[in-house]
Amino acid sequence: MKIRFASILFFACVPLLAAADLTVYAIDVEGGKSTLFVSPSGESMLVDTGYDGFKNRDADRILAAAKAAGVKQIDYLVITHYHQDHVGGVPQLAAKIPIRNFVDHGQNFEQVKDNGAVYDAYVAVRDKGNHLVVKAGDRIPIRGIQVDVVTASGKGIAKPLPGAGQPNPACATYQPLAVDTGENAHSIGMVVTYGSFRLVDLGDLYWNQEYDLACPNNKLGVVDVYLTTHHAKKTSGSPQMVWALHPKVAIMNNGPTTGGAVQAWQTIHDSPGLLDIWQLHFATANGPDHNSPEALIANRAPESDNCWGNWIQLTARKDGSFTVENSRTRFSKDYR
Ligand SMILES: [Zn+2]
Ligand SMILES: [Zn+2]
């Protein structure tokens, strides 16, 4: 009888399991990219791994975020494309944490010098795990959130996502750029959905491939959060794509001197309905007019005591509300 009472008391005192939120860490890999998603199911998805070299800098920063999130393995590692700032860190990371599934677009479209070497190093690691090749229209089978692949290997989804497909008035003024035959144009892009919350991550997708998703009809629909494409360099992030996405918040994966181009920053800033741009770094070339207020910047200067690889953390709830936090200052803001 005593034991029974004790056990009832025990269960009554156990708090409900941790709130079922989606947590996202935009990790500072100095102008490369690495984003950790932790599903309410507990499964993890890491999108890109930053650079190789730098004494394990990027792998260590990813590991710190994983530790903060209580993640002990990467269930899905998505490599958007085979550039060094996205795939370079894989061997160093794999030495520190188990990786179950390697997800990529298959063929390497850019066999030039350094790119060939980082790709070969990646394949050697990938060969030891499970390999999934995805194309537009596929889903990445992480439990608890929906991850729709909307572009891969240069081909976007043929039909709009459910609820999307509205005509896009910005298409009338579209101007293509010179064709890109390399890996950026072949990036994996995805829309992550959790209840009413939607986030888009298009890797380093090139301007002309954005057009295929955004024009003449917006195939992706609107999102709450836009993880900036190609570090907000000027050959991605067209107004046709960004304004159609109608994000409330952008998280910019720029380095001090990489990405965060004035023109791309301004396009995001001018996006209808945009509330804030959170930045991984102060963009040193831009001046105050093209940087966000300091509270929204995770790392203020390169190679200084202000740059310790602070991340930007996003917590998204099923009702579509979300919170963004700067790990440098612990400043956070709620969006409803
Ligand atoms: Zn990149
Ligand atoms: Zn790239």
For residue 199, name the pLDDT band (cuts at 50, 70, 90). very high
- Does 292 have pLDDT greater than 70? yes
Q: What is the pTM of this model?
A: 0.93
Q: How far is the CA of 101 from the centre of ligand 1 (A)?
A: 22
Q: State both tokens at 229.
A: 């494409």
Q: How far is the CA of 268 from the centre of ligand 1 (A)?
A: 18
Q: How far is the CA of 81 from the centre of ligand 2 (A)?
A: 7
116-157 confidence digits (pLDDT tens): 899 999 999 999 999 999 999 999 999 999 999 999 999 999
Q: How far is the CA of 204 from the centre of ligand 2 (A)?
A: 5
261-290 confidence digits (pLDDT tens): 999 999 999 999 999 999 999 999 998 999
294-334 confidence digits (pLDDT tens): 999 999 865 555 567 999 999 999 999 999 999 999 999 99
Beta strands in 39-160 (DSSP E): 44-47, 74-78, 99-104, 130-133, 139-140, 146-152, 155-156
Q: Please state which of the ranges 13-22, 93-102, 113-122, 297-306 shows the lowest mean pLDDT.
A: 13-22
- Which of helix, strand or coil describes residue 80? coil
- Does 162 have pLDDT greater than 90? yes
- Does 45 have pLDDT greater than 50? yes
Which ligand lies nearest the alpha carbon of 51?
Answer: 1
The rounded distance, in Å, linking the Cα atoms of 108 and 111 is 7
Rounded to an integer, what is the distance from CA 177 to the centroid of its chain?
24
Amino acid 19: pLDDT: 55
The rounded distance, in Å, linking the Cα atoms of 191 and 148 is 5
Amino acid 129: pLDDT: 95
Q: State both tokens at 241.
A: 């794509």
Going by the DSSP 8-state scheme, the letter that residue 220 receives in this structure is S
Q: Which of 256, 245, 257, 251 is nearest to 276 (CA)?
A: 251
Q: Report CA torsion sign: 134, 65, 306, 332.
A: positive
Amino acid 308: pLDDT: 79
For residue 57, name the pLDDT band (cuts at 50, 70, 90). very high
Question: What's domain 17-335's superfamily in CATH?
Answer: Ribonuclease Z/Hydroxyacylglutathione hydrolase-like (3.60.15.10)
Which ligand lies nearest the alpha carbon of 183?
Answer: 2
Please classify residue 45 by burial: count the beta carbons closer than 10 Å to its beta carbon, then call 0-12 exposed, 13-18 middle and 19+ buried.
buried
Q: How far is the CA of 227 from the centre of ligand 2 (A)?
A: 15
Q: How far is the CA of 32 from the centre of ligand 2 (A)?
A: 8
For residue 208, name the pLDDT band (cuts at 50, 70, 90). very high
Please classify residue 293 by burial: count the beta carbons closer than 10 Å to its beta carbon, then call 0-12 exposed, 13-18 middle and 19+ buried.
exposed
The rounded distance, in Å, linking the Cα atoms of 308 and 304 is 8
Amino acid 8: pLDDT: 44
The rounded distance, in Å, linking the Cα atoms of 37 and 55 is 25
Q: How far is the CA of 41 from the centre of ligand 2 (A)?
A: 30
Indicate the domain borders of the chain.
Answer: 17-335
Q: What are phi and psi of 38, to 5 degrees?
A: -120, 110
Average pLDDT value for the chain: 93
Compare 8 and 323 and report the one with higher pLDDT. Answer: 323
Contacts of 165 (CB under 8 A, 6+ apart): 159, 217, 218, 219, 221
Q: Which residue do the tokens 């692949």 mark?
A: 149
- Does 236 have pLDDT greater than 60? yes
Mean pLDDT of 189-204: 98
Mean pLDDT of 188-205: 98
For residue 64, name the pLDDT band (cuts at 50, 70, 90). very high
Neighbouring CB atoms inside 10 A of 1's CB total: 5
Asked if 75 and 39 count as a contact pair (C-beta separation under 8 A), the reply is no
Which ligand lies nearest the alpha carbon of 205?
Answer: 2
Give the up-direction half-sphere exposure of residue 191: CA atoms within 13 A in the CB hemisphere.
Answer: 26
Q: How far is the CA of 9 from the centre of ligand 1 (A)?
A: 53
Q: How far is the CA of 246 from the centre of ligand 1 (A)?
A: 23
Which ligand lies nearest the alpha carbon of 82?
Answer: 2
Q: Please state which of the ranges 17-21, 40-44, 296-300 shows the lowest mean pLDDT.
A: 17-21
- Does 3 have pLDDT greater than 80? no
Amino acid 231: pLDDT: 98
Which ligand lies nearest the alpha carbon of 109?
Answer: 2
Q: How far is the CA of 122 from the centre of ligand 1 (A)?
A: 16
Beta strands in the chain (DSSP E): 22-26, 35-38, 44-47, 74-78, 99-104, 130-133, 139-140, 146-152, 155-156, 166-167, 189-194, 197-201, 217-218, 225-227, 249-252, 276-279, 312-316, 322-326, 332-335
Amino acid 228: pLDDT: 98
Mean pLDDT of 37-53: 97
Amino acid 112: pLDDT: 79
Amino acid 156: pLDDT: 98
